[in-house]
Chains A and B, each alone.
Chain A
Amino acid sequence: MEGLRHRGLNGNSCRKGDDMEKMKVRYNQNAIDEISRLIQQLNLNTVCKEANCPNMGECYRRRTATFMIMGSRCTRNCRFCNVTCGPAETLDPEEPMHIAQAAGRLGLKHIVITSVTRDDLPDGGAGHFAEVVRTVREKNPDITIEVLIPDFKGSRESLDKVIAAKPEVINHNMETIQRLYEDVRPQADYQRSLEVLSYVKSKAPEILTKTGIMAGLGETEAEVFQLMDDVRAAGCNILTIGQYLQPSPEHIAVKECVSEQQFESYKKVGDEKGFSFVASGALVRSSYRAEEALSHEK
């Protein structure tokens, strides 16, 4: 993983120390422009842009993006997240078709679809999620589909709708260890998120389940291992761990720039604990190179 070295902490981001290197990314304006134009033409949102992801340049260059459905404004206000909060937008009935078209035009073999959290909708937007999955599948029969879903406030009816659409992967991010929920994800609940994972697995064992956490928020190694045990007990197959970066000074501060050795150790322990795939590294994000986790399964 050349180029992922970074150490040291100065203020609120993982800054360069005297003899230390920051994470290194590539930027190609042509790739950014091409994907951005397509996204704009089809009136879509990507989490790449909304989350200000450091990997955007690389992923766009590889002609892949993570689509964010149901608007660009979130009804929650998690302290790590750059997605705008505010009044929710009306659902766009054309959105499922537009996502399907974007997948076709980009020639995607694997698509990741996520959303803002829509606590305002009776089903949390699960029906719309399912419609997007079905439409993408219908227009792109060979594609594999990964959804990154909110907790739908724990509603089994909502989860049933998404499960019925049969995506290959259902990801629900735990985001952080239990102790930090109040600070990081005040409107979520650790047990509820675990139940999302275990319910999906119990209803549809053939669907791969996946979760991810941010490192560098003040968690201890023991707490991360506990989370691994908890999500494994919920049957979770795939785990991603990446360095949290503060989107702006208003967001929760970075407590620690996690070392490369620590990320490697998380991967090793995760493999031992029985995950079928663990991606652990500073620049890992939940949908970064998501297709690799799936190809590992086949």
Chain B
Amino acid sequence: MKETKNITMPKLSPSMEEAVLVAWAKEPQEQVQAGDVLFEVETDKVVCEIEATEDGVLERLCFEEGDPIKPGQTVAVLRA
């Protein structure tokens, strides 16, 4: 049975209302390891590279580059 996990957008600062997806560092169906940079977002203050917290295959990317993302929204789905 395959187990999936939603990768959600963290709230990177108290003033952050949304972040813009700058770029994906990985492609759909790509194998990733914990610590790999998955994607890059831009907030009101900084550009932030978000790392994978576990190993798996990126089953689905939910946003495209340039899209705004709110904290808590699912950005990608990872299959363990």
Binds B, one of A24-32, A129-137, A154-162, A196-204: A24-32
A residues near B59, Cβ cutoff 8 Å? none
- Which chain B residue has the least Cβ–Cβ distance from A33? B53
Query: Is B49's CB under 8 angstroms from A22's CB?
Result: no
Interface residues of A in 171-206 (CB under 8 A from B): none
Please, what's the 1-or-0 string for A234-254, where 1 marks a CB less than 8 Å from any CB in chain B?
Answer: 000000000001011100000
Query: Is B13's CB under 8 angstroms from A52's CB?
Result: yes
Distance in Å: Cβ of A136 to nearest Cβ of chain B: 30
Q: In the bound complex, what is the Cα–Cα distance between A284 and B14 (angstroms)?
A: 21
Q: In the bound complex, what is the Cα–Cα distance between A30 and B35 (angstroms)?
A: 9
- Which chain B residue has the least Cβ–Cβ distance from A55? B46
Query: Is A54's CB under 8 angstroms from B45's CB?
Result: yes
Interface residues of A in 106-151 (CB under 8 A from B): none
Query: Is B46's CB under 8 angstroms from A22's CB?
Result: yes
A residues near B37, Cβ cutoff 8 Å? 26
Distance in Å: Cβ of B55 to nearest Cβ of chain A: 12
B residues near A27, Cβ cutoff 8 Å? 10, 12, 48-51
CB contact under 8 A between A28 and B46, given known A52-B14, A248-B15 = no
Tell me whether B62 is interfacial, beta carbon within 8 Å: no
- Which chain A residue has the least Cβ–Cβ distance from B45? A13
Interface residues of B in 3-55 (CB under 8 A from A): 10, 12-15, 34-35, 37, 40, 42, 44-51, 53
Q: In the bound complex, what is the Cα–Cα distance between A57 and B53 (angstroms)?
A: 13
Query: Is B48's CB under 8 angstroms from A24's CB?
Result: yes
Q: In the bound complex, what is the Cα–Cα distance between A91 and B14 (angstroms)?
A: 27
Distance in Å: Cβ of A137 to nearest Cβ of chain B: 34
- Which chain B residue has the least Cβ–Cβ distance from A82? B14
Interface residues of B in 41-80 (CB under 8 A from A): 42, 44-51, 53
| The one of B14, B34, B45, B49 that contacts A26, using a Cβ cutoff of 8 Å | B49
B residues near A15, Cβ cutoff 8 Å? 44
Tell me whether A23 is interfacial, beta carbon within 8 Å: yes
Query: Is A28's CB under 8 angstroms from B35's CB?
Result: yes
| The one of A24, A29, A247 that contacts B47, using a Cβ cutoff of 8 Å | A24
CB contact under 8 A between A22 and B47, given known A16-B42, A52-B13, A52-B14 = yes
- Which chain B residue has the least Cβ–Cβ distance from A21? B47
Distance in Å: Cβ of B65 to nearest Cβ of chain A: 14
A residues near B15, Cβ cutoff 8 Å? 247-249
Query: Is A28's CB under 8 angstroms from B45's CB?
Result: no
Query: Is A24's CB under 8 angstroms from B44's CB?
Result: no
B residues near A248, Cβ cutoff 8 Å? 14-15
A residues near B53, Cβ cutoff 8 Å? 28-30
Point out residues on B near A: beta carbons under 8 Å: 10, 12-15, 34-35, 37, 40, 42, 44-51, 53
A-B pairs, top 9 by smallest CB distance, nearest first, are A28-B51, A30-B53, A24-B47, A22-B47, A26-B49, A23-B46, A29-B53, A27-B48, A27-B50
Point out residues on A near B: beta carbons under 8 Å: 13-16, 21-30, 32, 52, 54, 57, 245, 247-249
Using A16-B47, A27-B10, A28-B53 as known contacts, list a sample of 12 further A-B pairs with CB atoms less than 8 Å apart, ordered by residue number in A.
Answer: A14-B45, A22-B42, A22-B46, A24-B47, A25-B46, A25-B47, A25-B49, A29-B53, A52-B14, A54-B45, A57-B48, A248-B14
Mind listing 6 A-B residue pairs with CB under 8 Å?
A13-B45, A22-B47, A24-B40, A27-B51, A29-B53, A32-B10
